[in-house]
């Protein structure tokens, strides 16, 4: 498999990364969906990466350099439906991979993760802590988990943002609850489709419908929380996907 490492196309076996496309170090990353070899919301992902890099003291290339590198990678490794991951480590190395992506068609049955989780407003790797939450949920018979912060508010999924319908309104937790400022979340807030407010765990029984939202899933319906069935809002899910595709690049 060809990857882009420090702006050069190389075989993945020739760079310090594993076969899943993760650098063997620490840093920040962005994951972007591509449809017909066109990435979605690329400028927004670049902007978020630069903000995190500035906050964390990580040196990353200019937007122009990354854009050219991504263009070269997409030409070398085209995908009909793909996952583009761009990572930047603390030693100023960067890696981009473009891999096939398979849509998740099953609705999500989720539980509340049993332990409080301190979230992060930066998208960092290694990502093992979040993947462990997901694996624990699956071992318990669920598809995913909702994480709760030490203050007792529901924050997000193991790897995705959350939107929930409470009292007929769509809401998503604020970044002050220590959640990742996701790209799809950002678009929905800008479009006035969701409000921003905390969701205390005491209100979990008031959630009537919910989605996980992310740059890969776009909108993924949650069918139950702790085995309590939710209403599936198919029309709103399709609206979210349509909004995401408005920001296709290419």
Could you report the per-residue pLDDT of 49-80, keeping only the tens digit for each?
999 999 999 999 999 999 999 999 999 999 99
pLDDT value of residue 248: 84
- Give the residue ranges of the chain where pLDDT is below 70: 250
Q: If one looks up domain 108-245 in CATH, what number appears?
A: 3.20.10.10
CA contacts within 13 A on the Cβ side of 218: 26
pLDDT, tens digit (0-9, with 9 covering 90-100), for 12-45: 999 999 999 999 999 999 999 999 999 999 999 9
Q: Kindly list the distances between the CA atom of residue 215 and the CA atoms of 10, 42, 110, 247, in Å, as whole numbers in the listed order.
A: 26, 10, 20, 11
Per-position DSSP letters for 13-78, written without gaps between them: GGSSB-TTS-BSS-EEEEEEEEETTEEBSHHHHHHHHHHHHHHHT-----HHHHHHHHHHHHHHS-
Is residue 234 within a helix (H) or strand (E), and if so which, with residue range?
A: helix 234-245
> Residues of CATH 3.30.470.10 domain(s) within the chain?
2-100
Give Cα 216 to chain centroid, integer Å.
6
- Kindly state the tokens that stand for 146: 């909702």
Query: Which of 110, 114, 113 is CA-nearest to residue 144?
Result: 110
Residue ranges of the chain that CATH labels 3.20.10.10: 108-245
Q: What is the pLDDT of residue 56?
A: 98
Q: Which residues contact 9 (CB under 8 A, 6 or more apart)?
A: 2, 3, 72, 73, 76
- pLDDT of the residue at 249: 77
Helix axes 183-190, 42-56, angle to 10 degrees: 110
Q: Any alpha helices (H) in 105-230, and if so which ranges? A: 128-139, 183-190
Cα 61 to Cα 66, 126, 181, distances in angstroms: 6, 21, 22
pLDDT at residue number 30: 98
CATH number for the segment(s) 2-100: 3.30.470.10
């Amino acid at each position: 498999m060809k990857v882009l490492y420090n702006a050069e196309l190389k075989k993945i076996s020739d760079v310090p990364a594993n076969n899943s496309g993760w650098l063997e170090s620490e840093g920040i990353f962005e994951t972007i969906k591509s449809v017909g070899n066109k990435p979605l919301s690329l400028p927004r992902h670049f902007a978020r990466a630069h903000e995190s890099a500035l906050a964390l003291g990580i040196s990353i290339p200019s937007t122009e350099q990354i854009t050219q590198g991504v263009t070269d990678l997409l030409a070398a490794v085209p995908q009909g439906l793909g996952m583009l991951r761009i990572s930047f480590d603390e030693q100023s190395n960067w890696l981009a991979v473009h891999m096939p992506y398979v849509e998740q068609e099953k609705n999500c049955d989720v539980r509340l993760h049993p332990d409080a989780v301190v979230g992060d407003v930066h998208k960092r790797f290694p990502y093992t802590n979040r993947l462990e939450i997901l694996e624990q949920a699956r071992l318990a018979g669920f598809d995913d988990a909702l994480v709760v912060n030490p203050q007792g508010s529901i924050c997000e999924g193991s790897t995705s943002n959350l939107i929930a319908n409470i009292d007929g309104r769509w809401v998503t937790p604020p970044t002050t609850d220590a959640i990742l400022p996701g790209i799809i979340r950002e678009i929905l807030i800008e479009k006035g489709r969701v409000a921003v407010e905390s969701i205390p765990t005491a209100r979990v029984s008031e959630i009537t419908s919910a989605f996980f939202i992310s740059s890969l899933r776009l909108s993924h319906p949650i069918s139950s929380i702790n085995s309590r069935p939710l209403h599936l809002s198919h029309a709103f899910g399709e609206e979210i996907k349509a909004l995401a595709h408005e920001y296709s690049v290419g």
